[in-house]
Amino acid sequence: MQRVLIANRGEVALRVIRACRQAGLETVSVYSQADTGAPHVWAADRAVCIGPAPAKHSYLAAGTIITVAQGSGCDAIHPGYGFLAENAQFADQCRESGLEFIGPCGATIALMGDKLSARRSAAKLGLPVVPGSDRGYTETAQAAGAAEQIGYPLLLKARSGGGGRGMRIVDSSDELDQQFVQAHREAESAFGDGSLYLERFFQRVRHIEVQIFGDRHGNYRQLGERDCSVQRRHQKLIEESPSPALDDSQRREMCQAAVALAEGIGYVNAGTVEFIHDMDSGNYYFIEMNTRIQVEHPVTETVTGTDLVAEQLRVAAGRPLSFVDHTPVSRGHAIEWRINAEDPDHGFMPAAGRISRWRPPTGRDLRLDSATYEGQAVLPYYDSLLAKLIVSGEDRDRVIARSRRALSQFDIDGIPTTVPFYQRLVDDHRFISGDIHTRWVDQHVIQGHG
């Protein structure tokens, strides 16, 4: 493997370019017409325009991307996250075209991308799964019987979905039809598959994910967990490691379960096994697996000292994991703050415009992953993520204190961002104590209840 095409944009494209450069690999960037002056364009050894601004005509144009990769002499394609990263057909097309897809094979992506088949696989391998339906439904009448068996409240979830789309909480049978129709339409629009399945709904849960890796030599390892419980409408806002909600025994059991799943399905490359942790019972349940590198991977890199993207390249080149003989030990604590171009005071509405001032904080124990610069136009076509501020330290209290200082020094003007919201959050006694759950932001921070 000598030359890699990065099928993405923004900070993740820069992240992959940096890892490739450190590994001695050449890089080719692709970009839309709207991204002509973007940093990932000039950071790569070569860049090729692949279409107009809308993602479906550029970053989602699988055939065009493969053609560019072949024409530019690439050996492999790194999809980053989002866009085509979890597209099983694209992964197969890459390999059929003689290109290494830096991620798992298409069959594995499809297996885990179908939430019902993922549940069945996890249960077969002995992982606890949330009690729920064993099939998907497209009509309320079909789902009603299963809903009565599971009991209310319950959760409707898109069979092929993610990111909170096609997901609804149903408190009683009276709400089932309305919520089902809405979730079905949303799932159909977002994923081309309106099928929904049902799960028991737990009132107070933590969202815990375990970083796993597998290689082609039969090695499967975990690199600890991340806590992603600070969310708004099922969208993650911040992530941290280790989780303040787990004790050592729970942490060890959850990580072992994640490795068992990876080994059981023969998983290759980077992946994340996701769980919910019921705060009332202390039980944990498998919910899904993400078959790619995550937005929040720097949290794990920070506490383990392991370059996860470099490890992806290593595995894709056919080499064994660099940590086969040892499991990287997590040290200290880290929190990632997602700096988004959104207006927290107006429903987190995505904001487009020009950044007139961009002065991120600098200093010891701060890491900034970003492709944003002063004078840049924030476009309405793509994700609102501007930067990821990763703060680390010896323990959680010190990381929160450093985060408070770093956020106060983050000077941005021209568009609204999530920074002021985080400045309020970092002073909230409930966040400081760690006594939160996945609906805490929606219920108590935004609505002001409790």
Task: Give the tens place of pLDDT for each residue, 310-328.
Answer: 999 999 999 999 999 988 9
Same domain, 196 and 209: no
Residues 54 and 181 in one domain: no
Give the pLDDT score at 309: 98
In this model, does residue 308 exceed pLDDT 80?
yes
Binned at pLDDT 50, 70 and 90, residue 233 comes out as confident
Q: Do 67 and 37 sit in the same domain of this protein? A: yes
Which segment of 106-110, 183-187, 390-394 scores lowest on mean pLDDT? 183-187
d(CA 191, CA 186): 8
Q: Say yes or no to pLDDT of 449 above 60.
A: no
Q: Which residue has the higher pLDDT, 446 or 143?
A: 143
Query: What value does the mean pLDDT of the chain take?
Result: 95
User: What is the domain-level CATH number for residue 25?
Assistant: 3.40.50.20
Tokens (6 digits) for 290: 């993400």
Give the pLDDT confidence of 290-305 residue by residue, as tens digits: 999 999 999 999 999 9
Give a yes or no: residue 107 inside a domain.
Answer: no
**377 lies in some domain:** yes
pLDDT tens-place string over residues 160-214: 877 788 899 999 999 999 999 999 999 999 888 999 999 999 999 999 999 999 9
What are the respective helix, strand and coil percentages of the chain, to the nearest 5? 35, 25, 40
**Residue tagged active-site, from 15, 168, 226, 292:** 292
On whether both 136 and 172 belong to a single domain, the answer is yes
Q: Are residue 97 and residue 231 in the same domain, yes or no?
A: no
Q: Are 193 and 210 members of one domain?
A: no
Pairwise pLDDT comparison (448 vs 40), residue with the higher score? 40
- Whether 424 has a pLDDT exceeding 70, the answer reads yes
Q: Is residue 122 part of a domain?
A: no
Residue ending a domain, choose from 200, 219, 238: 200
Provide the pLDDT for residue 327: 85
Here the CATH number for the domain that contains residue 358 is 3.30.470.20
Band of pLDDT at residue 269, cut at 50, 70 and 90: very high
Phi, psi at 249, each rounded to 5°: -65, -45
Mean pLDDT of 93-116: 97
Residue 279 reports pLDDT greater than 50? yes
Q: Are residues 195 and 211 in the same domain?
A: no
246 and 196 in a common domain: no
**Boundary (domain end) residue, out of 184, 200, 216:** 200
Tell me whether residue 438 is in a domain.
Answer: yes
Give the E-state strand segments of 62-101 in sequence order: 76-78, 100-101
One domain for residues 295 and 238 = yes
120 within a domain of the structure (yes/no): no
Lowest mean pLDDT among 230-234, 392-396, 423-427: 230-234
Q: What is the CATH number of the domain that holds 185?
A: 3.30.1490.20
The answer to whether residue 116 scores a pLDDT higher than 70 is yes
- What confidence score (pLDDT) does residue 164 get? 80
Q: Are residues 195 and 218 in the same domain?
A: no
Q: Is residue 116 included in any domain, yes or no?
A: no
The count of domains in the chain is: 3
Domain that holds residue 92: 3-102
Q: Examine the domain organization and report whether 192 and 300 are in the same domain.
A: no
pLDDT at position 172:
94
Contacts 24+ apart (CB under 8 A), 64-72: 65/5, 65/7, 65/30, 66/93, 66/94, 66/97, 66/99, 68/5, 68/28, 68/30, 69/5, 69/28, 69/94, 69/97, 69/99, 70/97, 70/98, 70/99, 72/3, 72/5, 72/28, 72/46, 72/48
Indicate the pLDDT class of residue 447, thresholds 50, 70 and 90: low
Once rounded to an integer, what is the mean pLDDT over residues 325-335? 93
State the Cα–Cα distance between residues 272 and 431, nearest whole angstrom: 24
- Do residues 383 and 362 both lie within one domain? yes
Strands 349-350 and 353-354, sheet pairing: unpaired
Q: Is 204 a catalytic residue?
A: no
- Measured distance CA(408)–CA(425) in Å, rounded: 12
Question: Is residue 279 in some structural domain?
Answer: yes
Domain boundary among 200, 232, 247: 200
- Residue 234 pLDDT: 85
Q: Is residue 421 part of a domain?
A: yes
Mean pLDDT of 341-354: 93
